[in-house]
């Protein structure tokens, strides 16, 4: 068994190449990095209107009456769509190497992680993989929950605290666990 493993191909990070990936101009990425640290990640800026203005300035589409709490980390705002009445809690990380859409009345609770990139563990070069994430209308992503690349959380689904969604969430279902599985129906009174 040990000899079989030693003769298999191995990961070679010196062959890693994501030169195909171009998220935007270097100056824009650099400038956003500074703005993100000062106005978003920084817990001393509670002013939502400033955050919305800056997101729009950098190309995000932001609807009306959104709430963006302190400590939010956004990778690339020009790959972000936030519709109306969206709530984004403290310490949320939107790692949007690809598009992230937050539809109206959706909530990302404290510490939630939206992930659009990963690596192909089957490739010698550990190639970068990116896929968009769509958070549907009325969806609630619980505290410290993770939504993986390519996942669509459909209308009014819930991902409970600490859970990991690596497949689509169906409408009006509550998901829990790692990986998340449906545990019951969401009934809104």
Find how far residue 63's CA is from the centre of its chain: 18
Q: For the chain, list residues with pLDDT below 50.
A: none
Contact call for residues 179 and 168 (beta carbons, < 8 A): no
pLDDT in tens, 57-74: 999 999 999 999 999 999
Please state whether beta strands 128-130 and 117-119 pair in parallel, antiparallel, or not at all (unpaired). Answer: antiparallel
Q: Which domains does the chain have, with CATH numbers?
A: 24-183 (2.160.10.10)
CA gap 47, 45 in Å, rounded: 6
Q: If you write DSSP's letter for every residue of 60-71 in order, what string do you get? A: -EE-SS-EE-TT
pLDDT in tens, 114-124: 999 999 999 99
173's enclosing H/E stretch is: strand 173-177
Say which residue the tokens 């302190």 belong to: 70
pLDDT of residue 9: 85
CA gap 142, 135 in Å, rounded: 13
Nearest to 143 by CA among 167, 113, 182: 113
Question: Is this structure's pTM higher than 0.85?
Answer: yes
pLDDT of residue 46: 87
Q: What does the block give as tokens for 45? A: 């800026």
pLDDT of residue 5: 64
* DSSP symbol at 38: I
pLDDT of residue 157: 98
Nearest to 156 by CA among 117, 114, 92, 105: 105
């Amino acid at each position: 068994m040990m000899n079989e493993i030693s003769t298999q191909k191995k990961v070679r990070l010196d062959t890693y190449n994501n030169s195909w990936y171009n998220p935007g101009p270097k100056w824009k990425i650099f400038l956003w990095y500074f703005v993100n640290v000062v106005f978003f990640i920084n817990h001393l800026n509670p002013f939502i209107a400033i955050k919305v203005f800056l997101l729009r300035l950098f190309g995000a589409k932001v609807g009306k009456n959104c709430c963006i709490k302190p400590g939010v980390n956004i990778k690339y705002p020009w790959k972000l769509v936030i519709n109306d009445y969206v709530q984004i809690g403290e310490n949320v990380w939107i790692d949007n190497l690809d598009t992230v859409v937050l539809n109206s009345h959706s909530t990302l609770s404290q510490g939630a992680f939206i992930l659009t990139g990963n690596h192909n563990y089957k490739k010698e070069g550990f190639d970068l993989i990116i896929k968009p994430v769509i958070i549907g209308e009325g969806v609630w992503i619980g505290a410290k929950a993770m939504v993986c690349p390519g996942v669509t959380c459909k209308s009014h689904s819930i991902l409970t605290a600490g859970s990991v969604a690596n497949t689509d969430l169906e409408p009006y279902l509550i998901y829990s666990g790692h990986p998340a599985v449906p545990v019951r129906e969401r009934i809104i009174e």
